[in-house]
Amino acid sequence: MKILVSPSVLNADFGKLAEECVSLEKSGADWIHCDVMDGEFVPNLSFGLPVVEAIDKAVTIPLDVHLMIRHPLRYVSRFAAVGADWITFHLESDDDVASTCRAIKDCGCKVGISLKPATDVEQLLPYASLFDMILIMSVEPGFGGQKFIANSTEKIAKARRLYPDKLIQVDGGINAENAQTVVNSGADVLVVGSALLHCADRKAMISTLKALKRK
């Protein structure tokens, strides 16, 4: 399995967001990671449907939409309609997990389920047949620029053992220094935000991340 890089645009320059996303695609990004926040499930607001639609029009690579919202089921079909290819919601949200997974599938999108740092990956076992990807948060969700929580690597490794046929995505505090450790633990998809957006050579960093091999 080759490593995929999904840049998070949460800390991008929103005044030129389309250009930022085009730049990331040209630099080799596999997906674009869109963090949608409602101010309730997490203590922050980000962007919604019109912004995701604008990003979809700007790039040709898949959109990886992460719903950090209390009621994802209400919005699944609408995010699918504006261009989401992957829709990831939180196990800890208020809506029925199985129903949300099925709704995402019915819209033609791939299903991801995200876990906050304190949530054990074993809680996904009842839904193992319903999702395609696990998103492990290696920071508390809601804000970009946080430091990677060190014991996240143990959680990633456990997820890899329990769900060998699922993609494992990791989001939070990933940079050039810790990415190899994250991959060694079992990650397939790296969500990289501040470290990539603020680096001098995005193309070189993405190339380095995509070249990582599990050791």
Question: Is 145 annotated in some ligand binding site?
Answer: yes
Q: Where does the pLDDT of residue 144 fall: very low under 50, low under 70, confident under 90, or very high at 90 and above?
A: low
The residue-averaged pLDDT of 172-187 equals: 96
Question: Is 35 annotated in some ligand binding site?
Answer: yes
Query: Would the CA dihedral through 51, 54, 56, 58 be positive or negative?
Result: negative
Q: Where does the pLDDT of residue 140 fall: very low under 50, low under 70, confident under 90, or very high at 90 and above?
A: confident
For 97-124, write each residue's pLDDT tens digit: 999 999 999 999 999 999 999 999 999 9
CA–CA separation, 41 vs 28, rounded Å?
32
Question: Is 33 annotated in some ligand binding site?
Answer: yes
CB contact burial 85-102 (16+ within 10 A = b; e otherwise): bbbbbbbbbebebeebbe
Closest CA relative to residue 177, chosen from 158, 144, 199, 203: 199
User: Does 64 qualify as catalytic in the annotation?
Assistant: no
Question: Is 201 annotated in some ligand binding site?
Answer: no
Look at domain 4-210 and name its CATH class. Answer: alpha beta
Domain boundaries, the chain: 4-210
Hey, is 29 helix, strand or coil? coil
Question: Is 138 annotated in some ligand binding site?
Answer: no
The residue-averaged pLDDT of 181-199 equals: 96
pLDDT at 11 over 90: no
For 46-97, write each residue's pLDDT tens digit: 999 999 999 999 999 999 999 999 999 999 999 999 999 999 999 999 999 9
Catalytic residue of the set 30, 35, 64, 188: 35
Mean pLDDT estimate for the chain? 96
Q: Are 133 and 155 in contact (CB under 8 A)?
A: no
Q: Where does the pLDDT of residue 145 fall: very low under 50, low under 70, confident under 90, or very high at 90 and above?
A: low
Model pLDDT, residue 101: 99
Hey, is 43 helix, strand or coil? coil
Catalytic residue of the set 56, 64, 171, 188: 171
For 12-39, write each residue's pLDDT tens digit: 999 999 999 999 999 999 999 999 999 9
User: Does 106 qualify as catalytic in the annotation?
Assistant: no
